[in-house]
Amino acid sequence: MQLAAIIVSLVLTAVGVALLARAVGQFVRYFRLGQPVPAGTRTDNPYQRSVTLVREFLGHTRMNRWGVVGVAHWFVAIGFLTLPPTIVNAYGQLFQADWTLPILGGFLPYEMYIEFIGAMTTLGIAALIVIRLLSLPSRPGRKSRFAGSKMGQAYFVEYVILTIGLAIYVLRGLEGAIHQVDHYEAAYFASYPLVLAFDGLSVTALQNLVYLFAMIKLGTTMVWMITVSLNINMGVAWHRFLAFPNIWFKRDATGGTALGALQPMTSGGEPIDFADPGEDDVFGVSQVEQFSWKGLLDFSTCTECGRCQSQCPAWNTGKPLSPKLLIMSLRDHAHAKAPYLLAGGGKTAEGEERGTEEQLATVPAAALAEAERPLIGTAEENGVIDPDVLWSCTTCGACVEQCPVDIEHVDHIVDMRRYQVMIESSFPSEAGTMLKNLEKKGNPWGLAKKQRLEWLKEVDFEVPVVGRDIEDLTEVDYLYWVGCAGALEDRAKKTTKAFAELLHMAGVKFAIMGGDEKCTGDSARRLGNEPLFQELGMENVMSLNTAFGEELDDDGKVTPQTRKPKSAKRIVATCPHCLNTLGNEYPQLGGDYEVIHHTQLLQHLVDEGRLTPVTPVEGIITYHDPCYLGRHNKIYTPPREIIGKVPGIRNEEMHRHKERGFCCGAGGARMWMEERIGKRVNNERVDEALSLNPDIVSTACPFCLVMLTDSVNGKKNDGTAKESVQVVDVAQLLLESVRTPVDPDGAAADGEPRPEPVK
């Protein structure tokens, strides 16, 4: 028994270690196929990155949002990292059944730790197996987050961990028996029942059982190592190694998600100068090797857990996009194509083959076939990613928010969109109208710029305009960036007027731009038209810098010597997309401003007592979190606090809210595209809202306001929603409440006629 155990274990170990070393080398060569990233963007602040890694791992900050799953996975992960001493112990037991580790062997705290973690790891993986087994039959098809995952690989990994955990537990019992533990000891508090069960066996029997279970433990470990080394695209196994570097190299060293700003377009690790692009610049991604090395690391790190898929509004409404399946497809394609690329294969910008005939002769036929597949293409074209997958994305960020290993799905989707838009001119036709309007008129609706100020005629107080009523913004507290929707879309204009009136009532000094401002470029950028975004953005930055009274050089840029502090350039926006672009993306273009959302300012004014909600607004309200306000900018509390201060109203949260809020369907330039596949996203969201039987559905974004209103009106028409349901912005709700209360005769308390309510 001992000889067989030694031979089997050592042979498997030799094979496993050799294959693992080869696999590590393959990963290194594979990741080097990716493009470089801009210097310092993934390695800045190494201390903070290390702190973030430790915090995310030990705190399981993403996983623990899922209750039992998070706790069970924590113990499995801790066991994987801290139980390797039991492997060393098992090797010693092959040669001497009662062998123990030097120093640690017999050390009570260590023995108790092994007992506890060994038992909890075993229970943890058993819980995860049960959850997986119950998930598929109880939530069939798209409803299961495991739909599309490679279940055979997952079960293999889970049963390996279970087998090893049970082997550790049995070996602990055998160790107690062979060391003649004849009464309860803390060192064997978990395995003591097995110690008793083995009591009475002969020494020879105990030794043979030790040899057997040491071989089972080591053999199972090495079979796992051999299997995963031969399958380096086996994300469900490799994530336990790759998650650590993927988290360390994440975009934000302090731990924030890869949301908010999109990254500038780069080629060869350098930002592209669209005014004078280089001859060899690559625009977007059309081949998998054009992703950065971080992108390739992302793909390999995916553990196929399906959290992203379960939260994706596209997937939940019958669209072909699943963030998980997208990443899996890119991973499998990249690994299958890697032998071709490593042999020197690849296409030049002119479409010519780089590799020589001699080099490509060594490439397996499967890799050559994979290399011929277009990255973006229909099923008939044998494409890796279907175009409908790309255009289904609303860039809501739910996938990035939920991913436990910090995969940056949105960045990768936009990179592929960029190539389709800029090089192939291939995108939904309706979006082309929006782009033309932006190019010619500076707004998505294609309206004349003079109409940006038309809403001023509908308010009975003065709103200063920069360049007309005031010279620059040094005379006011805030620039109110009205935005295209707020100035031009009828429903959003109600929010604009309500917010402006509230600022006027609170005595806040503010001004607006004079109508020459352009769209911030949010939709253009997320559609993939980076040059148009930069053109619009740079014009706006120049206008804003001038409005804030900064001195500009000949190129229209602020000189370092005259740059004002960020706190002196305060902007408030009612549109979360404008907020995100102005505050998070314009710094890339030379515009550094302090940008807040109107709900943040309104909450501050209410807290200061400058606005006092007094008039009750009766009924039930439910608040919808705009994705670009919530997930992208972490602003969840101010709108809810404002609602909470309004007397008479009762707030009911939808099932999906805050970090798990469901998209309205307008983000990622989807506002301008038809929704032809599956259920409309806004209808799905409104169905959830109406299930609470509310009187008011509230939000804090003009895009959301339009999408939710359209859906509610449609449901009123077909009789599935009551006629009294309103969709309003938080500012409209607050204005309704801060207006002077009325007496029973219908007059205001001060004797003046009651103002008309904002609807």
pLDDT tens digits, 501-532:
999 999 999 999 999 999 999 999 999 999 99
Note the helical H segments in 404-521: 409-422, 429-441, 483-488, 490-506
Count CA within 13 A, CB hemisphere, residue 431. 24
Mean pLDDT of 263-288: 91
**How many CB atoms lie under 10 A from the CB of residue 143?**
12
Please state, in angstroms and rounded to a whole number, the distance separating the CA atoms of residues 522 and 516. Answer: 18
Identify the band that residue 182 occupies on the pLDDT scale cut at 50, 70 and 90. confident
Identify the band that residue 751 occupies on the pLDDT scale cut at 50, 70 and 90. very low
Query: Helix-strand-coil percent breakdown of the chain, rounded to 5?
Result: 55, 5, 40
Identify the band that residue 755 occupies on the pLDDT scale cut at 50, 70 and 90. very low
Task: Give the residue from 584, 674, 591, 691 showing the smallest Cα distance to 631.
Answer: 584
The pLDDT score that the predictor gives to residue 750 is 45
The pLDDT score that the predictor gives to residue 200 is 85
Note the helical H segments in 548-664: 576-580, 598-608, 637-645
Angle at CA 12, nearest 5°, toward 8 and 16? Answer: 170
Task: Give the residue from 662, 526, 659, 527 showing the smallest Cα distance to 584.
Answer: 526
Mean pLDDT of 569-583: 97
Report the range of poorest mean pLDDT among 39-48, 172-181, 346-355: 346-355
Is the backbone of residue 425 left (phi > 0), alpha (psi -120 to 50) or beta?
A: left
Identify the band that residue 61 occupies on the pLDDT scale cut at 50, 70 and 90. confident
pLDDT tens digits, 212-261:
999 999 999 999 999 999 999 999 999 999 999 999 999 999 999 999 99
Flag whether pLDDT at 556 surpasses 90.
no
Please state, in angstroms and rounded to a whole number, the distance separating the CA atoms of residues 75 and 118. Answer: 9
**How many CB atoms lie under 10 A from the CB of residue 219?**
20
Mean pLDDT of 683-690: 96
The pLDDT score that the predictor gives to residue 143 is 85
Flag whether pLDDT at 680 surpasses 50.
yes
Task: Give the residue from 731, 733, 684, 691 showing the smallest Cα distance to 708.
Answer: 684
- Bridge partners of residue 465, in order along the sequence: 512
Report the range of poorest mean pLDDT among 282-286, 347-351, 358-362, 726-730: 347-351
The pLDDT score that the predictor gives to residue 720 is 87
Q: How far is CA 659 from the centre of its chain?
A: 10
Contact 580, 632 (CB under 8 A): yes
Identify the band that residue 95 occupies on the pLDDT scale cut at 50, 70 and 90. very high
CA distances from 621 to 424, 694, 696 (A): 46, 5, 5
Please state, in angstroms and rounded to a whole number, the distance separating the CA atoms of residues 397 and 402. Answer: 9
Identify the band that residue 66 occupies on the pLDDT scale cut at 50, 70 and 90. confident
Rounded to two decimals, the pTM is: 0.93
The helix or strand, by DSSP H or E, that contains position 426, with its residue range, turns out to be none
Residue type, 718: D
The pLDDT score that the predictor gives to residue 749 is 44
**430 phi/psi in degrees, rounded to 5:** -65, -35
Flag whether pLDDT at 486 surpasses 80.
yes
Please state, in angstroms and rounded to a whole number, the distance separating the CA atoms of residues 487 and 520. Answer: 13
> Which domains are seen in the chain, by residue range?
2-20+45-231 (no CATH), 266-356+363-427 (1.10.1060), 441-602 (no CATH), 610-738 (3.40.50)
Report the share of the chain in percent with pLDDT over 70.
96
Identify the band that residue 350 occupies on the pLDDT scale cut at 50, 70 and 90. low
Please state, in angstroms and rounded to a whole number, the distance separating the CA atoms of residues 660 and 679. Answer: 19
The pLDDT score that the predictor gives to residue 756 is 45
pLDDT tens digits, 605-622:
999 999 999 999 999 999
pLDDT tens digits, 588-598:
999 999 999 99
Please state, in angstroms and rounded to a whole number, the distance separating the CA atoms of residues 665 and 704. Answer: 8
The pLDDT score that the predictor gives to residue 298 is 97
Report the share of the chain in percent with pLDDT over 90.
84
Output 391 or 62, whichever has higher pLDDT: 391
- Tokens 């917010």 sit at which residue? 499
pLDDT tens digits, 110-139:
999 999 999 999 999 999 999 888 876 667
- Bridge partners of residue 385, in order along the sequence: 376
Please state, in angstroms and rounded to a whole number, the distance separating the CA atoms of residues 331 and 585. Answer: 29
The pLDDT score that the predictor gives to residue 673 is 94
Contact 195, 177 (CB under 8 A): yes
Please state, in angstroms and rounded to a whole number, the distance separating the CA atoms of residues 353 and 337. Answer: 15
Contact 407, 246 (CB under 8 A): yes
Flag whether pLDDT at 315 surpasses 70.
yes
Q: In the predicted model, what is the mean pLDDT of the chain?
A: 92
**216 phi/psi in degrees, rounded to 5:** -60, -45
Count CA within 13 A, CB hemisphere, residue 45. 12
Contact 679, 646 (CB under 8 A): no
Flag whether pLDDT at 666 surpasses 60.
yes
